[in-house]
Amino acid sequence: MRLRRWGTALTLLLLMTALPGTALAPAAAATTAPPAPRPLPRLFDNTAVSDNSRPGAADFDGAGRSLSAQDLAAAGWSPGTVLTLDGARLGWPRGAAGTPDNVRADGQAVAVRGRGDALTFLVAGTGGQVTGRGTVRYRDGSHSTYELTAPDWRSGPLSTKAVALPHVNGPDGQSAGPARLYAVTVPLRPGRAVASVVLPPAPPAAAAALHVFALSVRDNGRGRTGSWAASTAGYRAVGPWRDRTVRLVVHSGAGGPRARIRIANTFAAAPVAIGAASIAVRGAGAAADGRPVALTFRGRAGARIPAGAELFSDPAAFTVPADTDLLVSLHLPGTVTAAPVHQEAAQLSYVSADGSGDRTRDPDGGAYPQTMAFWPFLTGLETDGGPGSIVALGDSITDGVKSTSGADRRWPDVLARRFQAQHTLPRYGVLNHGISANRIVTDRYQGDGVSTDTGGVSAQHRLERDVLAQAGARTVVVFEGINDVRSGTPADDVIAGLRALAGRAHERGLRAVAATLTPCGGYPDCTPAVEARRQAVNAFLRDGAGQGAFDATLDFDAVLRDPAAPARMLPAYDSGDHLHPGDAGLRALGESIELRTLVPGRTLAP
């Protein structure tokens, strides 16, 4: 014992005398140096997934409960599956059930590489919702902090979940769920290459934990421009469609070389198979102008999209002409009984006969005897290059309800044509993410299960998917709130929601522009109380561009209102229901916008 103490004392003496004045610095540095980054799977210290035959082989939450491997497989989340969630590619852990598959965040350094706009985590909280702050380290030596919130795996919101599973496994067997996992995205410093990510520290509550299954850097396509888009508004019954092809009519905004489509299985509980896909310029009806060009998915003709995920095609050698009807055809080889849809397409599309198989390459429309007025699965079309996209986040007025079907007379269509017709400013694409009946504060569709409600989850809950993850997004125009005030939501809550949308857009480097709420006097539920709430929201938006929340305000109210009766729409612009403008009113909105107001870096133009 004495010899050991003498050796320790001698070591300390040598340390103190070797470098006078800095003797203890090396030892101190050694105790405070950050841990070396390691790949995430090497940090796994918790097991969340068990096989139904051995439900007690995993303990996700500290109480012996876990996720069912069979439920995950039924959702298409098998070990090693690559999931695309909100534009980010994430790998579901490869290990078999009963082996470690996630890490409980406690300051670990994770080796991550990439350059993009955001960092996406696949997470869940146990013991309640968990929030913590972590650090991103960049290859140039700089760093930034982030705040990560993991909703609870049992009680978190269904409207923002990546996937929901029907059961929970435990030591005594299986019980009813649901269990939930979440994709959560945080901003990165633009243009900087990520070197590593330090996870948040463990939460103070002993029973709580923030679990990370996967993470990756997301690039939302700064080298791409969105030409067309539609939001998933709900998950509704269809068909059943058995081995059919859907031929969807969409209208391009921006043109450009090479086309890439986005297909979404949002809100679904099961995977969907895509047997083949194609794109073509539309001729007449369901007929193509020439032979459709085949699309591939990582070099293959088809792919399977897991529940809640999305799929991008490979860029195809197809030049997208601006302001043109296109046909996107998807072969569905299995039986489809429900689908994520955009309900109010204001456009007829086509469906082949039951059992007709792959008709994606048919140039004529003879195989498509049926029509539909909604868009299933397809949510986007992008081109290579270009200046990026303006995203219109709105409700039925942006969606084009009451506009002439098939004529592309929504106000974002008008705006897209104006951008393409000029050469002074960047010729942005304009993406229409309006959903009829949508709200800012509350969900219409609750985000899970087959439903007849296709009003979508709230603008807050869909902002990541429908705006921040869109190809080359530069500016968002928020034109929502009339459905909130009509449903009784206090004006202060609507204003708080608008502030939150603007704040999140700014956090990601987007320009945020708002539009005032248009009049609805004469519509059955537009009472004096609704008008008072509408005026309060508009007063906020007009006051210094939303009191500093927004970069600019578009006064759509002033464009449409009747000067003789300001609570009502000008009759020439009214579709007849006193809430939705018709073609003339939508054209007036699209033409009223000073294009420079939407260009990032411009000053206020209220």
28 or 545, higher pLDDT:
545
Residue 544's pLDDT band, with cuts at 50, 70 and 90, is: confident
**pLDDT per position as a tens digit, 384-406:** 999 999 999 999 999 999 999 99
Instruction: Confirm if 473 and 510 have CB atoms less than 8 A apart.
Output: yes
Instruction: Confirm if 104 and 46 have CB atoms less than 8 A apart.
Output: yes
Average pLDDT over the chain reads 93
**pLDDT per position as a tens digit, 197-228:** 999 999 999 999 999 999 999 998 678 999 99
606 or 341, higher pLDDT:
341
DSSP state of 314: P
Q: Is the pLDDT of residue 13 over 70?
A: no
User: Mean of the pLDDT values across residues 343-366?
Assistant: 98
Q: What is the pLDDT, as a whole number, of residue 127?
A: 97
431: region left, alpha or beta (phi > 0 left; psi from -120 to 50 alpha): beta
Q: What is the pLDDT, as a whole number, of residue 42?
A: 98
Q: Is the pLDDT of residue 442 over 50?
A: yes
Token reading at 249? 């009519």
Q: Cβ of 461: how many Cβ atoms within 10 Å?
A: 18
Among the ranges given (47-51, 114-118, 357-361), the one the predictor scored with the smallest mean pLDDT: 114-118
3-state secondary structure (DSSP) of residue 420: helix
Instruction: Confirm if 434 and 396 have CB atoms less than 8 A apart.
Output: yes
Note the helical H segments in 194-285: none
CA atoms within 13 A on the CB side of 99: 9
**pLDDT per position as a tens digit, 491-532:** 999 999 999 999 999 999 999 999 999 999 999 999 999 999
Q: Cβ of 401: how many Cβ atoms within 10 Å?
A: 20
How far apart (Å, rounded) are the C-alpha atoms in residues 492 and 552?
A: 20
pTM over 0.95: no
Q: Is the pLDDT of residue 348 over 80?
A: yes
3-state secondary structure (DSSP) of residue 68: strand
Q: What is the pLDDT, as a whole number, of residue 9?
A: 36
Token reading at 213? 């299954």
H or E segment to which residue 397 belongs: helix 396-399
Q: Is the pLDDT of residue 22 over 50?
A: no
**pLDDT per position as a tens digit, 125-140:** 999 999 999 999 999 9
3-state secondary structure 466-494: HHHCCCCEEEEEEECCHHHHHCCCCHHHH
**pLDDT per position as a tens digit, 450-484:** 999 999 999 999 999 999 999 999 999 999 999 99
Token reading at 435? 């959903």
Q: What is the pLDDT, as a whole number, of residue 29?
A: 37
Note the helical H segments in 143-247: none
Q: What is the pLDDT, as a whole number, of residue 6?
A: 32
Q: What is the pLDDT, as a whole number, of residue 602?
A: 56
Strand ranges (E), 498-560:
511-515, 552-554
Cβ within 8 Å of residue 27, ≥6 positions away:
15
Q: What is the pLDDT, as a whole number, of residue 33?
A: 62
3-state secondary structure (DSSP) of residue 391: strand
Instruction: Confirm if 331 and 358 have CB atoms less than 8 A apart.
Output: yes
Q: Is the pLDDT of residue 5 over 80?
A: no
CA atoms within 13 A on the CB side of 46: 24
Instruction: Confirm if 595 and 552 have CB atoms less than 8 A apart.
Output: no
Q: What is the pLDDT, as a whole number, of residue 32?
A: 53
Strand ranges (E), 230-315:
234-251, 259-264, 272-274, 276-281, 293-295, 303-305, 310-312
How far apart (Å, rounded) are the C-alpha atoms in residues 534 and 267?
A: 32
Residue 72's pLDDT band, with cuts at 50, 70 and 90, is: very high
Q: Is the peptide bond before 79 cis (omega within 30 degrees of 0)?
A: no
Instruction: Confirm if 61 and 69 have CB atoms less than 8 A apart.
Output: no
250: region left, alpha or beta (phi > 0 left; psi from -120 to 50 alpha): beta
3-state secondary structure (DSSP) of residue 81: coil
Q: Is the pLDDT of residue 43 over 70?
A: yes
How far apart (Å, rounded) are the C-alpha atoms in residues 509 and 445?
A: 29
Q: Is the pLDDT of residue 12 over 50?
A: no
Residue 408's pLDDT band, with cuts at 50, 70 and 90, is: very high
How far apart (Å, rounded) are the C-alpha atoms in residues 233 and 434?
A: 9
How far apart (Å, rounded) are the C-alpha atoms in residues 416 and 266?
A: 27
3-state secondary structure (DSSP) of residue 541: helix
- Give the distance from CA 313 to its chain's centroid: 17
